[in-house]
Copies of this chain bind each other. A is one copy, B any other.
């Protein structure tokens, strides 16, 4: 397996230079683009990796999967009154759909949806980011994980569009807590620094019927796990979910830090990372690596 990962690294590294590092905040714009890492964690506890699999990066929207998981644990089916389960068909941060659909975001992985989920978690926890950080540390079996304060502060400074969405949902009665407080929690979660190995481990429960061997806890039920994977497969890759299903065929979630996690149900959890993004905001080399892997091993859940 590691031979395969190394050969894939060789194959996709020439793509670096064709994408564009996220630059909407300075703290992300300064990342060295010439990096690539991949890690695979199997249900029987094996770890495979190649490239800079131990280099930390900003997990950004990948954090939305952790937030959703926490919310499902506390709210169950009730939560779907406040957020939908359908692909958005619009860029991840559009307000148009949100207004036409009366402040109920399409799914938990567009920004508006993740803000509602953060609002739910804000109502449940005294210290929402602390609860989230401890949850992630347990899942990744790494007690050193933490949020990058410089990135979180910079995200907050440039919060205008997210603030706009949160206030719009508040106008529709779909936001319970103070907007500024929820934004702080949300950005703190996005600014978590983790590496490919951490993330492959942390999401292993999604490949393992909801059970995390590392933390020894049943994070979600088996049924909830297939449901989360179903949502990831239809809405996890921003405006490129269909393309990801077509090319890779796995449930997955990307972040603008360049990370992508993917789940091979009942077998593996994967994390790939390379900072340059394609036009849809997903890691360019990361997508290529997952497509190559999927073709080599026949991983697609669709055939």
User: Taking beta carbons and an 8 Å cutoff, which residues of A are in contact with B?
Assistant: 84-90, 94-97, 99-100, 106-107, 159-161, 163-168, 170-171, 175, 179, 206, 209, 222-223, 225-227, 229-231, 233-235, 239-243, 245-247, 249, 251, 263, 265-266, 295, 300-303
B95 x A95 contact (CB < 8 A): yes
Q: What are 25 A-B contacts defined by CB distance under 8 Å? A: A84-B242, A85-B242, A86-B89, A87-B87, A87-B88, A87-B241, A89-B90, A89-B97, A95-B168, A96-B99, A159-B167, A161-B167, A163-B164, A163-B167, A163-B179, A164-B164, A164-B166, A209-B303, A225-B302, A227-B302, A229-B249, A230-B245, A233-B302, A234-B241, A234-B242
Q: How far is the CB of A171 from chain B (nearest CB, A)?
A: 4
A224 (CB) vs chain B CBs: closest residue: B303
A88 x B89 contact (CB < 8 A): yes
The residues of B that contact A87 with a CB separation of less than 8 Å are 86-89, 234-235, 241-242
Given A89-B106, A245-B234, also A303-B96 (CB < 8 A) = no
Instruction: Compute how far the CA of A99 lies from the CA of B175 in the bound complex, rounded to whole angstroms.
Output: 21
Q: How far is the CB of A141 from chain B (nearest CB, A)?
A: 22
State the main secondary structure of chain A at its contact with B: helix
A251 (CB) vs chain B CBs: closest residue: B302
Instruction: Compute how far the CA of A94 lies from the CA of B300 in the bound complex, rounded to whole angstroms.
Output: 31
A302 (CB) vs chain B CBs: closest residue: B229
